[in-house]
Amino acid sequence: AKRRDKNRWTLFEASMDQRYTERQSMKAALREAIRTHSMDLFYQPMFNPQGTRIVGAEALSRWIHPELGPVSPAVYIPLAEEMGIISELTCCVIERAVQDARNWPDDLQVSVNLSAHDLNDRAIVSVIADALDRSNLAPGRLQLEITESGLMNDLKTAREILTELRSMGMSIAIDDFGTGYSSLSYLDMLPLNKVKIDRSFVRDLTKVPKKLKLLRGVVHLARELGLEVVVEGVETEDQLVMISDNNCADIIQGYIFGTPMPYGAFIELANKLSQN
Ligand code: C2E
Ligand code: CA
Ligand code: CA
Ligand code: CA
């Protein structure tokens, strides 16, 4: 028994070593990709509830590792945060997104994700202002998405930054609403325009009756506060019908109408669907 344990330990150790090495090399590759601006940017369209008109798009970064292939943002975004290089990625995304959006029909908004770290440092304000200035995009066409958990560190600074951005004309959306460190007080404290309801409210919507009650409640709350409602993660016709019948969305973002796509594909779709 003793020997078997020892072997098992050795195996365990080896796999730990390997995983550590893999992680280190992933970190190095990520740093390089961000430094050389070689990450890609996809756009996921947002629609009116009928799905006939595009109202904007969310910019989502994409990374293809030279050996591992595509890596999920759910893996590399937290890694970039941990490495302290997320702000560099944010800058790239903002710069590219506002340049891209200049070529869209001019009633379309582009939405960019900010991370926790971005909201702890006032430098983000001039980064965004400069990018907008260079692109000549009207500030009202840029939306910033913030997550509830992303605000936990320093709420006062986050609020100051967001208030300034909002006063410049940008719109602010709270992302993944209803998950994580769900704190209703953010609705009161932050200068928000929109609530993006997390897709966990949509999953099982047509199977679990309680889900509809939850969704309706959250939507009601948001609208009472004068906020627009984006429902994320709508995948099926049944979900869409239930959301529409219950008047639960002002804007829909989900695979049912459009997945994240490269710039070229998005602009083609946008030109077709923006003036309907
Ligand atoms: P998110 O901000 O909530 O973005 C929406 C995610 O949901 C995207 O995943 C999108 O592909 C996915 N999605 C959209 N519609 C549907 C649907 O109908 N069904 C399902 N199952 N999923 C849907 P993605 O692109 O993998 O990104 C994951 C997360 O990574 C994002 O969640 C966001 O938090 C983060 N992220 C992605 N790009 C960036 C970035 O450039 N900067 C920052 N800070 N975070 C990013
Ligand atoms: Ca988002
Ligand atoms: Ca300008
Ligand atoms: Ca979300």
pLDDT digits (tens, 9 = 90+) for 39-54: 999 999 999 999 999 9
Nearest alpha carbon, ligand 1 atom 13: 233
ipTM: 0.97
- pLDDT for residue 178: 86
Percent of the chain clearing pLDDT 90 (strictly above): 79
Q: Please tell me the number of the ligand nearest to residue 233's CA.
A: 1
User: Residue 190 — left, alpha, or beta (φ > 0 → left; ψ -120 to 50 → alpha)?
Assistant: beta
233 lines ligand 1 (CB under 6 A): yes
Is the pLDDT at 245 greater than 70? The verdict is yes
pLDDT at 24: 86
Mean pLDDT of 53-73: 95
Protein residues near ligand 2, an ion, with CB under 5 A: 113, 145, 175
Predicted local distance difference test score (pLDDT) of residue 17: 76
The pLDDT score that the predictor gives to residue 187 is: 87
| Structure tokens belonging to residue 77 | 């975004």
- CA 12–ligand 4 middle distance (angstroms): 36
Long-range CB contact pairs, 29-35, < 8 A, 24+: 29/65, 29/66, 30/63, 30/76, 30/79, 30/80, 30/83, 30/85, 31/83, 31/85, 33/63, 34/80, 34/85, 34/88, 34/89, 34/92, 35/88
- Position 152 confidence tier, pLDDT thresholds 50, 70, 90: low
**Both structure tokens of 168:** 């410049």
Q: What confidence score (pLDDT) does residue 19 get?
A: 80
Q: Is 61 in the pocket of ligand 1 (CB under 6 A)?
A: yes
Q: Supply the pTM of this predicted model.
A: 0.93
Confidence of residue 147 (pLDDT cuts 50, 70, 90): confident
Does ligand 1 come within 6 angstroms of the Cβ of 254?
A: yes
Ligand at minimal distance from the CA of 261 is: 1
Distance from Cα 120 to the centre of ligand 2, integer Å: 18
What is the structure's pLDDT at 5? 63
pLDDT at 150 (0 to 100): 62
More confident residue, 234 or 16: 234
Nearest CA owner, ligand 1 atom 10: 260
pLDDT over 70 (residue 7): no
Asked whether 175 lines ligand 1 (CB < 6 A), one says: yes
Give nearest CA residue, ligand 1 atom 25: 60
Distance CA 188, CA 184 (A): 7
CA of 140 to the centre of ligand 3 (A): 13
Residue to probe by mutation, ligand 1, list 37, 39, 43, 77, most atoms within 8 Å of CB: 77
**Is ligand 1 within 6 A of the CB of residue 105?**
no
- What pLDDT does residue 34 have? 96
- What does the pLDDT read at residue 80? 95
Nearest ligand 1 atom to the CA of 115 is 44
Instruction: State if residue 178 touches ligand 1 by the CB under 6 angstroms criterion.
Output: no
For the segment 8-35, what is each residue's pLDDT rounded down to a tens digit?
666 666 677 778 888 888 999 999 999 9
Interhelix angle 86-101/2-35, nearest 10 degrees: 40
Question: Whose CA is closest to atom 21 on ligand 1?
Answer: 233
The finding on whether 143 has its CB within 6 A of some atom of ligand 1 is no
111-123 mean pLDDT:
93
pLDDT for 180: 66
Of the candidates 202, 172, 176, the residue with the CA atom closest to the CA atom of residue 190: 172
